[in-house]
Structure 1
Amino acid sequence: MRSVGVEEELLLVDARRGEPLALSGAVLAAADWSVGQRTEGGGPQGHTFEKELQQEQLEFATRPVTEMGELLEEITRWRMEAARHAASAGALVAALGTSPLPVRPSLSTGKRYEWVGEQFGLTAQEQLTCGCHVHVSVESDEEGVAVLDRIRPWLPVLTAMSANSPFWQGEDSGYGSYRSRVWNRLPSAGPTDVFGSADRYHEQVRAMLDTGVLCDEGMMYFDARLSAAYPTVEVRVADVCLEASTPVLLAALVRGLVETAARGWRDGQPPARVGTGLLRLAAWRAGRSGLDGPLIDPQTMRETSPERAVEALYAHVREALADHGDDDRVREGIARLREHGNGARVQRGLLRTEGTLGAVATRCAEITAGSA
């Protein structure tokens, strides 16, 4: 069975006002200190937290697992640990794709981040967005690229399902996932053409690096890519999700997409020849609508309802879901999204009931930590 891992980026916010705080260094120091204390007492060693582009962010990654129940336990555990370490630094952690409140982000220190800030200017300075990346194991680069070529039309549906960034600089953006629009300002971000082979994939990566626009392979910000560090396909289109169960739903669907695509490749089925221009429109539509407006059908590339788009995705991967034992979990997760909505809908509902964007941020922090 293919293993799955998830990376989540979290926002650090003030416990009373909900505004972002540039405290990642202090939170990481608290995590390091906690590890030292546990190690002296014979407890488990290490933590998974890392800094991100902005000092208002904190990132963690789960272990690769094969059971979705284990993945949920991992995500829940690290969210709670992040909340504990943030509290020691006087902050909360919130699984928000963007800050509801106005913010002037603070670039993290280090040569790579300095290079990004100098190269991309205001685009980098404004880039305070939190995503969720799903890794699924593949047997080879050749299989991985075959997967990348075949999952392209389905990725916007994942953006819509995960949409959790309706607010930007204190205003309602009108989008479900405004994070996806801000992220796509970066020159290497977005959908890709069909590569056709691992050799052509790596040739494209080398050609892009040779331009000097990007500093390393980690800046290949494709919607889905071969991981530079692990034998995985990495799908990068999702907002960080408010509820811990939602990234597990996404991970099950992504693994289903990877397995379905790999089987199709082995059976000699060609990838759909959908143009990258159409995929950009589908991605924009998903970011704009979330689950509250029309989407683009991944098979026909025509407008459809979000319910039908999600159902088409489920039907496409259902056989793989059943083989992995994920079918019931995915059906329940989709039903929960239909009933309660994604993070964007929840945030807008909280604004109506709580009255301020600061309260939205702090209530979302409670949900993130599992205390709401």
Structure 2
Amino acid sequence: MGVEEELLLVADDGAPSPSAQAVLDTAEEAHGPLENEFMEEQLETATPPTRSLTELADALRAGRRGAQEAAAGQGARVAALGTSPLAFTGTTVSKLRYMRARAEFGITAWEQLTNGCHVHVSVSDDAEGVAVLDRIGPWLAPLLAISTNSPFWQGQPTGYESFRSQVWSRWPTAGPTRLFGTPEAYHAAVEAIVATGTVLDQAMVYFDARLSARYPTVEIRVADVCLDPDTATLLAALSRGLVETAARDAASGVAAPDVHPEILRTAHWRAGRSGLDGDLVDPRTWRPAPAHDVVGALVEHVKEALADAGDLDAVTDLLGALWSRGSGAARQRAWYAGADGDLGQVAVRAADELLS
């Protein structure tokens, strides 16, 4: 498995800093793999593939540390925030594809200063990958709830734990998918979407989970970037557990649950609104249930795979710590209250705790 994290570049006052290209131009090999994202106010890091959860946790911290050190050379800081707490006017990276997207998609692109966490889990081939995609959909909303880390948008509290998920849902291809059954059906669906001329290319097919175009992996894309690396590690472990459980179910002939995309979309919205602080939609019943119960059901669903990977004890500890300290969104709101409503200080505090 491997993890890609999108991170926010901020100035000393917490305002988004359009300095990504300057950071990349001066970054050194020791800073690790750093890339552009859509906006100049963002950097992306990526861990190497790893089997060990401990190695992954170390790689996540190393990636954040490298980004932090590279940004400091340009007078910027790095914060793991799903959205900027302060209002912004985003600066699109000067690459042809991004500029085409800006022209084609209007405000959807102009305001796309959002940061997600993408978890890649290896699969043996496209057939196994599609079998996994067909089976993990009901459990993706709880993953979003665990990651929620974007309660502010354009200088305002939103009432959402993940407003990033709301902004991201503007893209025409974002969201849950139907059952595909075969790789041929999956690839035909992607090709049909591109053939409409609505998106630029296959890379703009932004399903909640998809087959990676670059790696032999399933890419789970629902999460906010996590405020701290421990939550990102927990997210990755649960994602791998989901993929492994789905692959085993498929190999054993367990039928994929035929849940309509509109129900999955509703569950996803609920997770972004409530996070860990209210009810979620329980995939066992499709009725509301406390977030603690639904996340517990997720862990139970993947327990065997976690145990076989040696991850169960770590997940138990990481999840206990998350319940104790609260989600990224809850912590941001607490900082906001403690700073007398100074949203810049929320971003500064997040930068201070990048490696915590």
TM-score by length of 1: 0.94
Q: Which ranges in structure 1 are unaligned for 5 or more consecutive residues? A: 36-43
Once the 2 structures are TM-superposed, how far is the Cα of residue 216 of structure 1 from its aligned partner? 1.6
Picking from 49, 68, 73, the partner of 1:64 is 49
**2:26 matches 1:26:** no
Whether contact under 8 Å (1:93, 1:369) holds in the other structure is no
Between the aligned partners of 1:299 and 1:48, the Cα distance in structure 2 is 40
1:183-222 aligned within 5 A: 183-222=168-207
Between the aligned partners of 1:82 and 1:47, the Cα distance in structure 2 is 8
Whether contact under 8 Å (1:260, 1:317) holds in the other structure is yes
Q: Secondary structure at the match of 2:235?
A: helix
Q: In the alignment, which residue of structure 1 is the partner of 2:352?
A: 366
Whether contact under 8 Å (2:21, 2:40) holds in the other structure is yes
| Percent identity over paired residues | 52
Q: In the alignment, which residue of structure 1 is the partner of 2:89?
A: 104
Q: In the alignment, which residue of structure 1 is the partner of 2:100?
A: 115
Q: In the alignment, which residue of structure 2 is the partner of 1:40?
A: none
The superposition leaves residues 335-372 of structure 1 with CA deviations (integer Å, 9 ceiling, x where unpaired) of 111111110001001111122111110010011144xx
Once the 2 structures are TM-superposed, how far is the Cα of residue 269 of structure 1 from its aligned partner? 0.7
1:178-257 aligned within 5 A: 178-257=163-242
Q: In the alignment, which residue of structure 2 is the partner of 1:336?
A: 321
Between the aligned partners of 1:47 and 1:347, the Cα distance in structure 2 is 28
Once the 2 structures are TM-superposed, how far is the Cα of residue 164 of structure 1 from its aligned partner? 0.1
Tell me how large the CA RMSD over aligned residues is: 0.9
Q: Secondary structure at the match of 1:65?
A: coil
Picking from 240, 261, 272, the partner of 2:246 is 261
1:18-57 aligned within 5 A: 18-31=14-27, 34-35=28-29, 47-57=32-42
Whether contact under 8 Å (2:228, 2:355) holds in the other structure is no
Whether contact under 8 Å (1:83, 1:369) holds in the other structure is no
Once the 2 structures are TM-superposed, how far is the Cα of residue 47 of structure 1 from its aligned partner? 3.2
Q: Secondary structure at the match of 1:78?
A: helix
Letter in 2 for 1:12: L
The size of the alignment, in residue pairs, is 355
TM-score by length of 2: 0.98
Q: In the alignment, which residue of structure 1 is the partner of 2:5?
A: 8
Q: In the alignment, which residue of structure 2 is the partner of 1:41?
A: none
Between the aligned partners of 1:27 and 1:366, the Cα distance in structure 2 is 19
**2:93 matches 1:81:** no
**2:352 matches 1:352:** no
Q: Secondary structure at the match of 2:284?
A: coil
Whether contact under 8 Å (1:165, 1:179) holds in the other structure is yes
Which range moved further: 129-138 or 299-308? 299-308
Between the aligned partners of 2:294 and 2:240, the Cα distance in structure 1 is 18
Whether contact under 8 Å (2:32, 2:66) holds in the other structure is no
Q: In the alignment, which residue of structure 1 is the partner of 2:122?
A: 137
Between the aligned partners of 2:124 and 2:11, the Cα distance in structure 1 is 44
Picking from 285, 289, 298, the partner of 2:274 is 289
4+ long deviations beyond 2 Å: none
Between the aligned partners of 2:118 and 2:283, the Cα distance in structure 1 is 21
Whether contact under 8 Å (2:209, 2:221) holds in the other structure is yes
Once the 2 structures are TM-superposed, how far is the Cα of residue 119 of structure 1 from its aligned partner? 1.2
The superposition leaves residues 151-178 of structure 1 with CA deviations (integer Å, 9 ceiling, x where unpaired) of 0000000000000000001111000000
Once the 2 structures are TM-superposed, how far is the Cα of residue 85 of structure 1 from its aligned partner? 0.9
Whether contact under 8 Å (2:229, 2:355) holds in the other structure is no
The superposition leaves residues 307-339 of structure 1 with CA deviations (integer Å, 9 ceiling, x where unpaired) of 011001000000000000000011111111111
Once the 2 structures are TM-superposed, how far is the Cα of residue 293 of structure 1 from its aligned partner? 1.0
Q: Secondary structure at the match of 2:48?
A: coil
Once the 2 structures are TM-superposed, how far is the Cα of residue 290 of structure 1 from its aligned partner? 0.7
Whether contact under 8 Å (1:95, 1:242) holds in the other structure is yes
Picking from 129, 151, 157, the partner of 2:136 is 151
Letter in 2 for 1:219: M
Q: Which ranges in structure 2 are unaligned for 5 or more consecutive residues? A: none
Once the 2 structures are TM-superposed, how far is the Cα of residue 30 of structure 1 from its aligned partner? 1.9
Q: Secondary structure at the match of 2:38?
A: coil
Letter in 1 for 2:306: L
